[in-house]
Amino acid sequence: MEDFNSETDSDYASYWRDWFISTRGHEYFCEIDEDYLTDRFNLTGLQAEVQYYQYALDLVTDQFDFECEDDMREQIEKSARHLYGLVHARYIITTRGLAKMLEKYKKCDFGRCPRVLCRSHPLLPLGLSDLPHQKPVKLYCAKCEDVYSPKSSRHAAIDGAYFGASFPHILFQVYPGLIPPKSNERYMPRCFGFKTHAQAALSRWQEGEREAQDVRLEKAGVEVRRVDGEDEEDEDEEVVEV
């Protein structure tokens, strides 16, 4: 830290966050604004969740000047990463945080859906629980409305609570133009070109249920947008800008 004492206040204040964001395996995170981190209201309730809370906060905001043993320093560093993750889950559902995560979504920083029929649709990070130390982060596809495990082991080890269970859905509420149309296209098992009997019967039942649901939604005044697989091939893979 001493090497940065000669830098400007702005550069020095952003040093720990820059290091954290640029660390390999932290690509899913966005940088939290300093004003948000220093507003105690945004940190309500976190003191009981984080060991060495004040030291960790000082480290995240680059105010840490406590001389300590290496073992304790390592614990404080661990607490700082945990604190940043918990604050991150709150920050990304603010207006500023959503805008930053939207830019990462447009650049496909979170990866693309592995489902073939989703045609590489961009993913969003999702926590299956809002409580820390419960579930690792998953990736949500708005096209098939399913969740997947990250390919990288570094990403798979991130706590899902650092993103929360509501983030992707709040993003699409704020930016409804990004919601992709639902597709009727499904993989159909065939034997020598013929649909298997059980799968054919299931597909007919699913199609009937889908049509009945569309009728109910239209009667309720809800717009239903569906596209055929052939139409999807002509769509641009990039996220629609709003």
Across 172-185, average pLDDT: 89
Q: What is the pLDDT of residue 226?
A: 67
Cα–Cα distance for residue pair 21/131, rounded to 1 Å: 22
- Residue 149 contacts residue 138 (beta carbons within 8 Å): yes
Location of structure tokens 């660390």? 23
**Domain residue ranges of the chain, discontinuous segments joined by +:** 16-178, 190-220
> Is pLDDT of 169 > 80?
yes
Q: What is the pLDDT of residue 227?
A: 64
- pTM of the predicted protein model: 0.74
Q: What is the pLDDT of residue 206?
A: 81
User: Which CATH code fits 16-178?
Assistant: 2.20.25.20
pLDDT in tens, 88-144: 999 999 999 999 999 999 999 999 999 999 999 999 999 999 999 999 999 999 999
- Give the per-residue SS3 of 129-171: CCCCCCCECEEEECCCCEEECCCCHHHHCCEHHHCCCCHHHHH
Alpha carbon separation from 229 to 67, 181, 184, 232 (Å, rounded): 62, 11, 7, 5
Q: Among 190-194, 212-216, 228-232, name the one with the lowest average pLDDT.
A: 228-232
- Residue 186 contacts residue 200 (beta carbons within 8 Å): no
Cα–Cα distance for residue pair 78/64, rounded to 1 Å: 14
Q: What is the pLDDT of residue 184?
A: 73
Across 182-208, average pLDDT: 77
Q: What is the pLDDT of residue 174?
A: 97
Better-predicted residue by pLDDT, 234 or 85: 85
pLDDT in tens, 55-86: 999 999 988 777 777 788 889 999 999 999 99
Those residues whose C-beta lies under 8 Å from the C-beta of residue 13, and which sit 6 or more positions away, are: 34, 61, 62
Q: How many helices (H) and strands (E) does the chain have?
A: 10, 7
